[in-house]
């Protein structure tokens, strides 16, 4: 078990595939949000296109693009539909009922990639993948309006192997803007440490902090429109590491 765990940690961030989804026209008016800011659909689409371009063209990941579904206005935020670690995928049960069907296309795509699928079927459990952070060593789960204790327990059962390790130490990077902390980290064999982070246009002070990470390839990616819908850079992809032998 320890050997498997060490192998998993050594490979943390070595992603090979990303699952993303198109932006439905219904996103602008019907997607869930906590603010009432006007969303520019064309802007959201071009931002998303640039994001997908970075994953596929610039970073060389194999990108699986699922079609948008107009009846699921939030479907571009694929991170909430699944939590993937190693070769296991937990299909979640999103807290908002209007989003439950988003998991169908995600489950089909992850099956296609030969991952071991575990489904959250308990009707008392809710979990949004966006409330889950995996550090390469352990999972942190934020209990929220969308994720409850039962959902967190099912996640813990699904990825039990992690519980043997605790008491990790982390180097902390403190940012002046809370929202800027939502970044996408990768450790790619031919690129090293990569960090996709919000732009200076959005968070000028935080970007000067990111620039202290001299050993990272820093890629600013604009997220202004999707931020109006509480969507961050991590929300729009599910990253997967497929070993050559799978």
Q: Which residues are annotated as a binding site for substrate?
A: 32, 74, 79-80, 99, 146, 229
* Contact in structure between 185 and 195 (CB atoms under 8 Å): yes
Number of H helices, E strands in the chain: 7, 11
Element (H, E) at 153: helix 149-158
Known binding site: residues? 32, 74, 79-80, 99, 146, 229
DSSP state of 127: B
Contacts (Cβ under 8 Å, ≥6 apart) of 172: none
- DSSP one-letter code for 177: S
Instruction: Give the C-alpha separation, 175 to 218, whole Å.
Output: 15
Dist CA 206 CA 177 (whole Å): 6
DSSP for 31-90, written as a single string = S--SS-PPP-HHHHHHHHHHHHHIIIIIT--EEEEEPP-TT-TTTT-GGGGEEEETTEEE
In angstroms, rounded to a whole number, what is the distance separating the alpha carbons of residues 246 and 243?
6
Distance of alpha carbon 136 from alpha carbon 219, whole angstroms: 21
The rounded distance, in Å, linking the Cα atoms of 174 and 190 is 28
DSSP state of 214: T
């Amino acid at each position: 078990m320890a050997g498997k765990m060490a192998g998993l940690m050594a490979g943390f961030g070595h992603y090979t595939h990303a699952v993303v989804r198109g932006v439905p026209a219904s996103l602008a008016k019907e997607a869930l949000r906590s603010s009432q800011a006007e969303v520019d659909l064309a802007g959201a689409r071009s931002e998303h296109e640039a994001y997908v371009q970075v994953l596929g063209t610039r970073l060389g990941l194999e990108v699986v693009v699922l079609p948008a579904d107009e009846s699921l206005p939030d479907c571009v935020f694929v991170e909430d539909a699944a939590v993937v670690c190693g070769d296991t995928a937990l299909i979640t049960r999103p807290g908002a009922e209007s989003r439950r069907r988003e998991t169908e296309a995600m489950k089909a795509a992850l099956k296609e990639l030969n991952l071991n699928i575990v489904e959250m079927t308990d009707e008392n459990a809710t979990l949004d993948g966006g409330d889950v952070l995996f550090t390469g060593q352990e999972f942190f789960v934020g209990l929220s309006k969308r994720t409850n204790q039962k959902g967190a327990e099912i996640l813990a059962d699904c990825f039990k192997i992690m519980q043997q390790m605790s008491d990790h130490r982390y180097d902390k990077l403190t940012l002046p803007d809370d929202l800027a902390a939502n970044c996408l980290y990768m450790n790619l064999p031919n690129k090293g440490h990569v960090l996709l982070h919000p732009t200076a246009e959005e968070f000028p002070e935080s970007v000067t902090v990111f620039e202290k990470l001299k050993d990272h390839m820093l890629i600013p990616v604009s997220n202004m429109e999707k931020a109006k819908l509480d969507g961050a850079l991590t929300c729009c992809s599910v990253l997967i590491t497929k070993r050559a032998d799978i």
